[in-house]
Structure 1
Amino acid sequence: MTAPVTLRPTPATEPIPARWVALRLLGPLEISVDSVEVPLPQRKLRQLLATLLIRPNATASTEVLIRELWGDRPPATALAALRVYVSQLRKFFVQHGLGGRWCTLRTRAPGYQLQVNDGILDMVCFDRLCVLAGESAESGRYELASRQYREALALRRGPTLEDLRDSPALAGAALQYDEAWMTALTRRIDLDLLLGGHAELVGELRRLLAEDPLNEAFCARLVVALYRNGRSGDALVFYRRIRDQLIEELGIEPGLELRLAHQAVLTDDADFNLEARIPA
């Protein structure tokens, strides 16, 4: 199992305070100072912070923030309440030593702007690592790319914002990053297949399919991993079972990727590579 990754701030010219700060959205919202979670129990404050963090350093209008916090029918006191929450969030930053270098909540027409040292925000770190991994894969540095994807994947602690998905913007960001995590996982598996890790991948893919049985991307890669592990019979049995499930439960035939993997086993195509589709 990959060890958890510690978020570290981006380098700066001024001296770094003797503390590490992390703002985490890839899972439940979490604020951590020196590896200790700092609670922000009020739900509206958590919603406000998360809504600002999904657009770091951008200005969110009061109209948008009110809609995110109260929906389409906000109370008449919503604007005044929002100002109170902003004030409380600023005090929270100061109380826990997060203000200034780490987080600054500014009033910016037509609303508010949360300036964040983005090296402490897990979503930004995830995006950067995935870009680096894609560049490494594109240049043929497959082992490095696999490590970079593993580091990115380790940032996830569960479904993105799983405790705060009841507003449109937060739900949209959560779905976006859950999909991005799945894409990164698939690319990392492709790289490990390319590097000859098929034996280790059989168990991992079976575990993933136990959680998501009809995920055709994982099914195709398990067929390939079994075949390369000298288990062509198991690969064909697995394909038939998955095809039957897809037809029975969804009324569809397997997709192209899964069919190509099946064909490679039937024709004993040792040169077949799903992972040749790794995008940059």
Structure 2
Amino acid sequence: MARNVHVRRGELDIQVLGPLWISCAGTGVVPTARKPRQILALLVLNYSRVVPVATLIDELWDGHAPKTAPAAVQSYVFQLRKKLAEVTGRSMDTVGSEMLRTGQNGYEFVAEPTRFDLRTFHRLERAGVAAMARGDLVTAVQDFREALSLWRGPALADVEPGPGIRAEVAGIEQSRATMLDHRIELELRLGLHREILGELSVLVSHNRFHEDLHAQFIIALYRSGYRARALEAFHRLRKDMVSEFGLEPSPKLHQYYQAVLTSDPALDEMPVLPLPRAAELPVLPAAAGCF
């Protein structure tokens, strides 16, 4: 179900951080048929960039395209333009020139103005990393929390992906995971270990071999006065890793374990993740700026 957002008359609401949802004044645009749905999703992920017809064909048929593939792609784009015209009240010519354009050997989605959750996510990502780089941890946490709240589930959860969508989604999901790691690190540095214990408990249960998350959980438990539970968390991770892979946790995890075991005062200040420097700000396409 789409989030309830206020959208001005004639404005498109685009959401990809969860099931695909594109609408105008509450009326959906997303087709139910698999191939037009894939094309729309890939065009939106490449907002304001031309996606070559060859890339769209590879997305739909993954190396096994029939000779009729170019004509089929053209037909699917026509269907999408027709749907956009219906829901926005614009002519097909206007849709073709201002919303879903024909570009150099391909097509580009350029509909403006829009609300686009992915663009908002990237804007907040940049703002949060910039705040980290200048040492404003409170603002960075606020930006990251707002960005993560945009997610309604796995990106494009209801779209069957081909190679293009799969690659794009992998990058977005990695950005989400990195942001979550940094947000938790910042909250630990701000002394919010008790506030995030419940969330960390759920995260480590879903990410059994994520060593940084386990380290953050161990530190949060220790700082909250749960020394025995912190030791148990390490032993549970070690048991899972040895059983599954025949591997010991990293030396860094062993260092945290020994620090908990000896009640090392350094644990009160010990970081898990280094904070990015200004030079490490994520570089986003110019078109990915947000309203």
The TM-score bracket by the shorter chain reads 0.7 to 0.9
* Structural mapping, 1:19-168, within 5 Å: 20-34=11-25, 37-97=28-88, 104-117=99-112, 120-168=115-163
Q: Is 1:18 matched up with 2:9?
A: yes
1:216 offset after TM fit, Å?
Answer: 1.4
**Residue ranges of structure 1 left out of the alignment (5+ in a row):** 9-16
Q: CA deviation at 1:192?
A: 1.0
TM-superposed deviation, 1:257 = 4.0
8 A contact 2:223–2:268 mirrored in 1: no
Indicate yes or no: 2:187 matched with 1:192: yes
Pairwise CA RMSD of aligned residues? 2.5
Structure 1 residue 103 displacement after superposition: 6.1
Residues 20, 30 of structure 2: 8 Å contact kept: no
* TM-aligned CA distance change 1:98 to 1:269, over 3 Å: farther
Other structure's SS at 1:75 match: coil
Provide the rounded CA distance (Å) in 1 between the counterparts of 2:268 and 2:221: 15
Task: Considering Cα pairs closer than 8 Å and 6+ residues apart, tell me whether 1 or 2 has the greater RCO.
Answer: 2
Asked whether 1:226 is paired with 2:231, we answer no
Which of 152, 172, 178 aligns to 2:173? It is: 178
Query: CA-to-partner distance for each residue in 1:180-232, whole Å, 9 max, x for gaps?
Result: 11111111111111111101211111111222222212111000001111122
Q: Contact 1:57/1:113 (CA < 8 Å) preserved in 2?
A: yes
Whichever residue aligns with residue 73 of structure 1, its letter is H
For 1:174, give the aligned amino acid.
Answer: V
Between the aligned partners of 1:224 and 1:45, the Cα distance in structure 2 is 48
Find the counterpart in structure 2 of residue 12 from structure 1: none
In structure 2, runs of 5+ residues without a counterpart are: 278-291
Q: Secondary structure at the match of 1:73?
A: coil
Matched AA of 1:25: V
- Rounded to whole Å, the distance in 2 between the matches of 1:94 and 1:29 is 19
CA shift, 1:262, in A, is 2.2
Residue pair 1:93, 1:103 contacting (<8 A) in 2 also: no
Given residue 79 of structure 1, which amino acid in structure 2 is its aligned partner?
P
Q: Distance in 1 between matches of 2:125 and 2:246?
A: 35
Structure-2 separation of matches of 1:254 and 1:276: 16
Cα shift at 1:235:
0.8
Q: Deviations over 1:95-121 (max 9, x none)?
A: 111866996111112111221448522
Distance 1:241 1:128, change over 3 A: same
TM-score, normalization: structure 1? 0.86
CA pair 127-256 structure 1, distance change in 2 beyond 3 A = farther
Deviations, residues 103-140 of structure 1 (Å, cap 9, x unaligned)? 61111121112214485222222111111001112222
Could you tell me the TM-score, scaled by structure 2's length? 0.83
Aligned length: 269
1:175 positional shift: 1.3
